[in-house]
Amino acid sequence: MAALLQTAPDTVAAAARRVMARCDELARISATAGGIERVYLSPEHARVNRLAAQWMREIGMTTRLDAAGNQVGRLERSTASGAPDLDAPALVLGSHLDTVPDAGRYDGIVGVLMGLEVVRMLRVPGPDGTGWRSPLPFALEVVAFSDEEGTRFGKALLGSSAVAGTWDPDWWDLTDADGVTLREAFAEFGLDPGRVGEAARRPEELAGYLEAHIEQGPELDERGESLAVVSSIASARRFQLVVEGEARHAGGTPYDRRRDALLGASEAALAIERVCRAEHHIIGTVGQLEAYPGAVNIVPGEARLSLDLRGEFDDARDDVWTSIERELDVITGRRGLRWHAREVHSAPAVFCAPLLQDVVREGIVSTLGRGVDDPATIFSRAGHDAMAIGSVTDVGMLFLRNPDGISHHPDEAVSAGDVAYGTRALAESVLQLAADRG
């Protein structure tokens, strides 16, 4: 595949250095000392939005903060006369700037910054030699989504859901750890809850969505490859499980009289691991486990645990949940316990559009060359903003190698060399799509 991008290698290397330096700069904007934490509608959210808007304007984009707090930059397409085509659909590049607690500095962030560098590479001067335009059959937008992680209010993809037009009014009553509702946080941030619908985009406004992201898994690292085409994003279901027993005196209650909820929940967690390990491409994680009343001298009468269940296909994921339910029935029945579950999140698998998979593949091949004609194609076990955006336009994704697959952790990493490859491949992908669209 011949390269379409007419950019010198040192220009691409400079772009990668800029991305890495800006990841470091954004990492210093945090609610916690000695770590990275930026949550939705916080002062840190406002600060990174302002910085992203500054970088967007520096490369000739117009900027706006949408009605859900997403930072948007746009480079207009030129008409035949050279005037900006304000009605042209936009190809959107982007990812998110929010983080989990004690985060790494690349998850989401690198995709936003690579998107800006792609715009820098592809822009052309306006007709009078001032300003910048998109030379492509579509405008270019970069979106820094505001709440992919769901750290503050427990609901992921809030920013991208608003853009997709799938905002649920029930979300307004979600609360953070301090009891602040989402509605109150909107107002405190300077947003109008009554106007959140204005963030929604129509399908005819969009030419597609391309997201670059670190893999958040070890497959590329194990293969010794820099980049991959993403085929789909895993389906996900999340549950809050409660195991009920009986709280009694730790010293006075013999084992045959105990109905220990914590031991039942612990056995349930091991059963979840066993069931999921037996299934191809199904991952189950118990990330939270709490015992009540939580005293050192009381047999736990109740235990609460979380379950994050992900799979490549919805039906396989749901079959595994049915198996887990049967295991919990057996465990709690044997131990004289009861259990119930509340589903708190459900998202179907999202498949990347065949055309966008093709252009990403062509972008990788034309970038890496040297006999690379069949780059890795893998599905994402992690969720991404593309999941939400997929309900309003076609989506495609490019993965970058993530050493040892470490993510959601301060040791999260990506190399400047892979960022250089990825930025060029993303730009090539955009050009391949433009060539297809004519």
Ranges of H-type helices in 4-94: 9-27, 43-58
Nearest CA-CA partner of 410 in 157, 29, 152, 37:
37
Q: Quick one: pLDDT at residue 28?
A: 97
Task: Confirm if 64 and 58 have CB atoms less than 8 A apart.
Answer: no
Ranges under pLDDT 70 in the chain: 1-2, 370-371, 438
Query: Beta strand pairing status for 298-299 and 248-249?
Result: antiparallel
Q: Quick one: pLDDT at residue 418?
A: 98
Task: Confirm if 428 and 5 have CB atoms less than 8 A apart.
Answer: yes
Distance of alpha carbon 360 from alpha carbon 377, whole angstroms: 10
Cβ contacts of 410 within 8 Å, gap of 6 or more: 35, 36, 102, 103, 104
Neighbouring-strand partners of residue 2: none
Tell me the whole-structure pTM to 2 decimals.
Answer: 0.91
Write the burial class of residue 315 (CB in 10 Å: 0-12 exposed, 13-18 middle, 19+ buried): exposed
Distance of alpha carbon 40 from alpha carbon 378, whole angstroms: 30
Q: Quick one: pLDDT at residue 1?
A: 53
Token readout for 87 is 């009605």
Q: How far apart are the first and last CA of the chain?
A: 18
Instruction: Quick: pLDDT tens for 259-277.
Output: 999 999 999 999 999 999 9
DSSP 373: -
Instruction: Quick: pLDDT tens for 127-173.
Output: 777 789 999 999 999 999 999 999 999 899 999 999 999 999 999 99
CA 259 to chain centre: 40
